[in-house]
Amino acid sequence: MYSVLLAATAVAATPFLLPDTKLVGTGLRDNVTPIEVVSFPSWECPSCSPEEQYILEELQDKTRIRDKNALATIMGNIKQESNFTPDICEGGARVPYSECHSGGYGIIQWTSIGRYDNLGRFCDRFDCDPSTLEGQTRYMINESTFQRVLPEFEGGGQTVRQYMVPAFYWLGWGY
Protein backbone atom coordinates (compact mmCIF):
# COMPACT_ATOMS: atom_id res chain seq x y z
CA MET A 1 0.00 0.00 0.00
CA TYR A 2 1.29 3.41 -0.93
CA SER A 3 1.66 5.71 2.00
CA VAL A 4 1.70 9.40 1.27
CA LEU A 5 2.97 11.69 3.96
CA LEU A 6 0.56 14.54 3.63
CA ALA A 7 0.87 17.72 5.60
CA ALA A 8 -2.21 19.87 6.02
CA THR A 9 -1.88 23.51 5.23
CA ALA A 10 -5.21 24.85 6.30
CA VAL A 11 -5.81 28.45 5.47
CA ALA A 12 -8.20 29.96 7.96
CA ALA A 13 -11.26 31.66 6.58
CA THR A 14 -10.44 35.29 7.00
CA PRO A 15 -12.44 38.24 5.83
CA PHE A 16 -10.78 40.62 3.48
CA LEU A 17 -11.97 44.06 2.61
CA LEU A 18 -12.63 45.32 -0.82
CA PRO A 19 -10.42 48.28 -1.61
CA ASP A 20 -11.87 51.68 -0.90
CA THR A 21 -13.03 52.31 -4.42
CA LYS A 22 -15.63 54.78 -5.60
CA LEU A 23 -18.47 52.82 -7.10
CA VAL A 24 -19.95 54.88 -9.89
CA GLY A 25 -23.71 55.37 -9.76
CA THR A 26 -24.24 53.52 -6.47
CA GLY A 27 -23.77 56.30 -4.00
CA LEU A 28 -21.38 54.04 -2.06
CA ARG A 29 -18.02 55.53 -1.31
CA ASP A 30 -16.96 54.71 2.22
CA ASN A 31 -19.14 51.73 2.98
CA VAL A 32 -16.97 48.72 2.36
CA THR A 33 -18.49 45.30 2.92
CA PRO A 34 -16.24 42.57 4.21
CA ILE A 35 -16.30 39.41 2.12
CA GLU A 36 -15.51 36.13 3.81
CA VAL A 37 -13.15 33.96 1.81
CA VAL A 38 -13.67 30.30 2.55
CA SER A 39 -10.64 28.11 2.09
CA PHE A 40 -10.35 24.39 2.41
CA PRO A 41 -7.40 22.53 3.84
CA SER A 42 -5.00 21.34 1.23
CA TRP A 43 -2.62 18.45 1.49
CA GLU A 44 1.00 18.53 0.47
CA CYS A 45 3.67 15.87 0.20
CA PRO A 46 7.07 17.53 0.60
CA SER A 47 8.94 14.24 0.18
CA CYS A 48 7.10 13.34 -3.04
CA SER A 49 8.54 13.64 -6.53
CA PRO A 50 7.56 16.65 -8.65
CA GLU A 51 5.23 14.38 -10.66
CA GLU A 52 3.47 13.19 -7.50
CA GLN A 53 3.20 16.76 -6.21
CA TYR A 54 1.73 17.91 -9.52
CA ILE A 55 -1.01 15.27 -9.56
CA LEU A 56 -1.80 15.80 -5.87
CA GLU A 57 -2.19 19.53 -6.45
CA GLU A 58 -4.32 19.06 -9.57
CA LEU A 59 -6.64 16.59 -7.82
CA GLN A 60 -7.28 19.13 -5.08
CA ASP A 61 -7.55 22.08 -7.44
CA LYS A 62 -9.87 20.46 -10.01
CA THR A 63 -12.05 18.30 -7.73
CA ARG A 64 -13.58 18.51 -4.27
CA ILE A 65 -11.49 15.67 -2.87
CA ARG A 66 -10.35 16.83 0.57
CA ASP A 67 -9.95 13.55 2.44
CA LYS A 68 -6.32 12.46 2.83
CA ASN A 69 -7.28 8.78 2.61
CA ALA A 70 -9.08 9.36 -0.69
CA LEU A 71 -6.07 11.23 -2.06
CA ALA A 72 -3.66 8.58 -0.76
CA THR A 73 -5.75 5.85 -2.44
CA ILE A 74 -5.69 7.61 -5.80
CA MET A 75 -2.01 8.44 -5.52
CA GLY A 76 -1.15 4.90 -4.43
CA ASN A 77 -2.95 3.39 -7.38
CA ILE A 78 -1.17 5.72 -9.80
CA LYS A 79 2.14 4.74 -8.15
CA GLN A 80 1.30 1.05 -8.64
CA GLU A 81 0.16 1.50 -12.25
CA SER A 82 2.99 3.66 -13.59
CA ASN A 83 5.19 5.07 -10.83
CA PHE A 84 3.90 8.45 -12.10
CA THR A 85 5.61 7.91 -15.46
CA PRO A 86 3.37 9.27 -18.23
CA ASP A 87 5.18 7.87 -21.28
CA ILE A 88 5.24 4.26 -20.17
CA CYS A 89 3.70 1.44 -22.15
CA GLU A 90 2.76 -1.76 -20.33
CA GLY A 91 5.90 -3.85 -19.97
CA GLY A 92 8.12 -0.84 -19.35
CA ALA A 93 8.81 0.66 -22.78
CA ARG A 94 9.11 4.46 -22.61
CA VAL A 95 7.40 5.64 -25.79
CA PRO A 96 5.14 8.45 -27.00
CA TYR A 97 1.39 7.89 -26.94
CA SER A 98 1.19 6.93 -30.62
CA GLU A 99 3.85 4.21 -30.24
CA CYS A 100 2.18 2.08 -27.56
CA HIS A 101 0.33 -0.60 -29.51
CA SER A 102 -0.60 -3.15 -26.83
CA GLY A 103 -1.31 -3.21 -23.13
CA GLY A 104 -1.86 -0.16 -20.99
CA TYR A 105 -0.37 3.29 -21.41
CA GLY A 106 0.39 6.20 -19.14
CA ILE A 107 -0.10 7.11 -15.52
CA ILE A 108 -3.07 4.83 -14.97
CA GLN A 109 -2.26 2.37 -17.73
CA TRP A 110 -5.28 3.03 -19.93
CA THR A 111 -5.69 -0.45 -21.36
CA SER A 112 -8.96 -0.78 -23.27
CA ILE A 113 -8.94 0.53 -26.82
CA GLY A 114 -11.77 2.95 -25.97
CA ARG A 115 -10.02 4.50 -22.97
CA TYR A 116 -6.68 4.67 -24.79
CA ASP A 117 -8.26 6.26 -27.89
CA ASN A 118 -10.23 8.70 -25.75
CA LEU A 119 -7.00 9.95 -24.18
CA GLY A 120 -5.80 10.89 -27.68
CA ARG A 121 -9.15 12.39 -28.67
CA PHE A 122 -9.31 14.44 -25.48
CA CYS A 123 -5.84 15.85 -26.05
CA ASP A 124 -6.62 16.60 -29.70
CA ARG A 125 -9.74 18.48 -28.67
CA PHE A 126 -8.21 20.35 -25.73
CA ASP A 127 -4.76 20.97 -27.17
CA CYS A 128 -2.68 18.84 -24.83
CA ASP A 129 -0.07 16.15 -25.36
CA PRO A 130 -1.28 12.63 -24.44
CA SER A 131 2.34 11.60 -23.72
CA THR A 132 2.77 14.13 -20.90
CA LEU A 133 1.91 14.19 -17.24
CA GLU A 134 -0.10 17.39 -17.73
CA GLY A 135 -2.19 16.00 -20.59
CA GLN A 136 -2.84 12.70 -18.86
CA THR A 137 -3.72 14.28 -15.52
CA ARG A 138 -6.16 16.60 -17.23
CA TYR A 139 -7.74 13.69 -19.09
CA MET A 140 -7.77 11.45 -16.01
CA ILE A 141 -9.76 13.98 -13.97
CA ASN A 142 -12.23 14.56 -16.83
CA GLU A 143 -12.55 10.96 -18.01
CA SER A 144 -16.09 9.60 -17.66
CA THR A 145 -14.86 6.52 -15.76
CA PHE A 146 -13.21 8.70 -13.10
CA GLN A 147 -16.15 11.12 -13.05
CA ARG A 148 -18.53 8.25 -12.23
CA VAL A 149 -16.62 7.38 -9.03
CA LEU A 150 -15.52 10.91 -8.15
CA PRO A 151 -18.45 11.55 -5.76
CA GLU A 152 -17.30 8.59 -3.67
CA PHE A 153 -13.81 10.08 -3.35
CA GLU A 154 -15.25 13.53 -2.61
CA GLY A 155 -17.51 12.21 0.16
CA GLY A 156 -14.74 11.82 2.69
CA GLY A 157 -14.43 10.00 5.97
CA GLN A 158 -13.56 6.53 4.72
CA THR A 159 -10.55 4.32 5.19
CA VAL A 160 -8.10 3.62 2.37
CA ARG A 161 -9.53 0.10 2.19
CA GLN A 162 -13.03 1.53 1.64
CA TYR A 163 -11.76 3.92 -1.04
CA MET A 164 -10.25 0.96 -2.87
CA VAL A 165 -13.78 -0.01 -3.98
CA PRO A 166 -14.28 3.06 -6.21
CA ALA A 167 -10.60 2.77 -7.20
CA PHE A 168 -11.32 -0.72 -8.52
CA TYR A 169 -14.23 0.56 -10.62
CA TRP A 170 -12.10 3.44 -11.85
CA LEU A 171 -9.03 1.38 -12.80
CA GLY A 172 -10.48 -2.09 -13.27
CA TRP A 173 -7.38 -3.96 -12.19
CA GLY A 174 -7.69 -7.67 -12.58
CA TYR A 175 -9.74 -7.54 -15.79
CA 38 – CA 110 distance, rounded (Å): 36
Assign 152 a pLDDT band (cuts: 50, 70, 90): very high
What is the tens place of the pLDDT at every residue in 107-147? Answer: 999 999 999 999 999 999 999 999 999 999 999 999 999 99
Question: What does pTM read for this prediction?
Answer: 0.78
Q: What pLDDT is attached to residue 33?
A: 65
What is the tens place of the pLDDT at every residue in 56-97? Answer: 999 999 999 999 999 999 999 999 999 999 999 999 999 999
CA 150 – CA 170 distance, rounded (Å): 9
Cα 18 from chain centroid (whole Å): 32
Q: What pLDDT is attached to residue 30?
A: 57
pLDDT beyond 60 at 14? no
Which class for 160: exposed (0-12), middle (13-18), buried (19 or more C-beta within 10 A)?
Answer: middle
Partners of 14 in the β-ladder: 37
Q: What pLDDT is attached to residue 141?
A: 98
If you average pLDDT over every residue of the chain, what do you get?
85
Helices (H) then strands (E): counts for the chain: 6, 4
Assign 171 a pLDDT band (cuts: 50, 70, 90): very high
Q: What pLDDT is attached to residue 173?
A: 75
pLDDT beyond 60 at 7? no
Q: What pLDDT is attached to residue 41?
A: 77
Per-residue pLDDT, averaged over 19-38, amounts to 56
Domains, the chain, with CATH or none: 49-171 (1.10.530.10)
